């Protein structure tokens, strides 16, 4: 069986060494020393001023919407994981979809302005598959219309834009440290900002609003994370450079294997250092896509339809047809990509796809 992804795990003894200290302290959660250490090390590694570690990437999005005071309508992409849209709805706001660029698969900034109304308070854009959006164009629109920007940067660990971490942009960038990500803490996420006042509010908001044992600052939620999760993150961070190098090598090997095949990938932002976190392939039509998916599954290989369906088709949104997003969502597969995936396995995947093409 070749899964679509598999978590990287550090040497068990390194993780257990940190857990020994957790047992000695008996401090399991509530902003423990490992959580604080992880935040410090991530700020240093990513070169960002304020990073608040939270329980997952979805809570990070919900806190971001709440802390920026967004109300009414939020312009967003229909091509992302469901949490991008569901977080908007969960926070009592209305997602307003803008279609995507067919090459980058990111929100098309040329279409944003016409979607802005008097009810619009923010833009929530996803850097799809770790490929940065047109950041300057989005920022220019936000500045002219006094809108806040949240970037769903769940896929972006290790991605840089114009020499800086892509997390440096927008009013807030959110991260996911889920087990499937390049860098993970089993479950986890982060709210990242350059604004110290926003960071202070996030710190309170993720912990019920506590400003002390008997003091509260505003409404909060339980968005904390534990020492056990932070320990996994501290271990994994030591290997992130090796992980990034290996992932790029695997991604480029796929490119070589599919050089003579009629499939398309995403167009990368030329200003970015890409992290190669996913390998999406886009086929000519949905029938071929489903044939390829079936053939791979019959061979014990698990691709994934990231992202299907287009979020504008969700039953709880009033989304008008987003033609490009809907079309791409029907024709795209992400192929297996993880740290110990071998070249032999990649060759099996590519040969299975090539054989299916000969049939269809």
Q: Which residue has tokens 């969960």? A: 90
Q: Does residue 232 share a domain with residue 248? A: no
DSSP code of residue 142: H
Range of the domain at 312: 240-359
Contacts of 200 (CB under 8 A, 6+ apart): none
Chain centroid, CA 195 distance in Å = 21
User: d(Cα 316, Cα 324) in Å, to the nearest integer?
Assistant: 20
Q: Would you state the pLDDT for residue 359?
A: 62
Q: Residues 304, 244, 193, 174: what is their CA dihedral angle, to the nearest 10 degrees?
A: 10
Q: Does residue 122 share a domain with residue 230? A: yes
Q: Would you state the pLDDT for residue 262?
A: 84
Q: Does residue 133 share a domain with residue 47? A: yes
Q: Does residue 233 share a domain with residue 310? A: no
Q: Does residue 57 share a domain with residue 90? A: yes
Q: Does residue 327 share a domain with residue 254? A: yes
Q: Would you state the pLDDT for residue 357?
A: 82
Q: Would you state the pLDDT for residue 360?
A: 53
Q: Does residue 271 share a domain with residue 210? A: no
Domain-ending residue, one of 237, 256, 273: 237
Q: Would you state the pLDDT for residue 158?
A: 97
Q: Would you state the pLDDT for residue 57?
A: 98
Q: Does residue 280 share a domain with residue 180? A: no
CATH of the domain at 261: 3.90.1150.10
Strand order in 94-97's β-sheet? Answer: 50-54, 189-193, 172-176, 148-152, 120-126, 73-76, 94-97
Domain-ending residue, one of 237, 267, 284: 237
Q: Does residue 168 share a domain with residue 54? A: yes
- pLDDT single digits (tens) 245-271: 999 999 999 999 999 988 999 999 999
Q: Which residues of the chain have pLDDT under 50?
A: none
Residue 6 lies in a domain: no
Q: Does residue 324 share a domain with residue 248? A: yes
Q: Does residue 233 share a domain with residue 248? A: no
Residue 86 lies in a domain: yes
* Distances in whole angstroms, Cα of residue 197 to Cα of each of 159, 210, 218: 26, 16, 14
Domain-ending residue, one of 237, 266, 296: 237
| Structural domain total, the chain | 2
Q: Would you state the pLDDT for residue 212?
A: 87
CATH of the domain at 91: 3.40.640.10
User: d(Cα 357, Cα 279) in Å, to the nearest integer?
Assistant: 19
């Amino acid at each position: 069986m070749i899964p679509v992804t598999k978590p990287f795990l550090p040497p068990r003894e390194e993780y257990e060494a940190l857990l020994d200290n957790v047992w000695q302290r008996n401090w399991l959660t509530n902003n423990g020393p490992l959580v604080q250490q992880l935040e410090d090390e991530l700020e240093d590694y990513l070169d960002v001023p304020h990073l608040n570690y939270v329980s997952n990437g979805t809570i990070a999005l919900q806190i971001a919407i709440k802390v920026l005071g967004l109300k009414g309508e939020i312009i967003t992409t229909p091509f992302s994981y469901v949490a991008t849209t569901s977080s908007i709805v969960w926070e009592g706001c209305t997602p307003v979809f803008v279609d995507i660029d067919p090459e980058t698969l990111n929100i098309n900034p040329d279409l944003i302005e016409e979607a802005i109304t008097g009810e619009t308070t923010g833009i929530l854009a996803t850097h799809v598959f770790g490929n940065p959006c047109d950041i300057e164009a989005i920022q220019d629109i936000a500045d002219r219309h006094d809108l806040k920007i949240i970037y769903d940067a769940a896929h972006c660990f290790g991605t840089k834009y114009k020499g800086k971490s892509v997390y440096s942009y927008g009013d807030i960038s959110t991260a996911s440290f889920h087990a499937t990500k390049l860098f993970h803490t089993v479950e986890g996420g982060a709210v990242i900002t350059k604004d110290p006042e926003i960071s202070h509010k996030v710190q309170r908001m993720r912990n019920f609003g506590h400003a002390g044992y008997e003091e509260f600052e505003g409404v909060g939620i339980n968005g904390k994370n534990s020492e056990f999760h932070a320990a996994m993150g501290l271990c994994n961070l030591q290997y992130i450079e090796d992980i990034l190098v290996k992932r790029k090598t695997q991604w480029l090997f796929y490119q070589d294997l599919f050089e003579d095949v009629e499939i398309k990938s995403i167009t990368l932002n030329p200003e970015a250092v890409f992290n190669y976190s996913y390998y999406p392939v886009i086929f000519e039509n949905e029938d071929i896509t489903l044939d390829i998916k079936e053939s791979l599954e019959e061979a014990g290989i698990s691709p994934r339809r990231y992202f299907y369906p287009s979020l504008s088709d969700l039953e709880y949104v009033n989304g008008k047809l987003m033609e490009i997003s809907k079309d791409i969502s029907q024709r795209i597969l992400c192929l297996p990509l993880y740290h110990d995936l071998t070249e032999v396995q990649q060759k099996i995947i590519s040969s299975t796809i090539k054989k299916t093409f000969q049939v269809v």
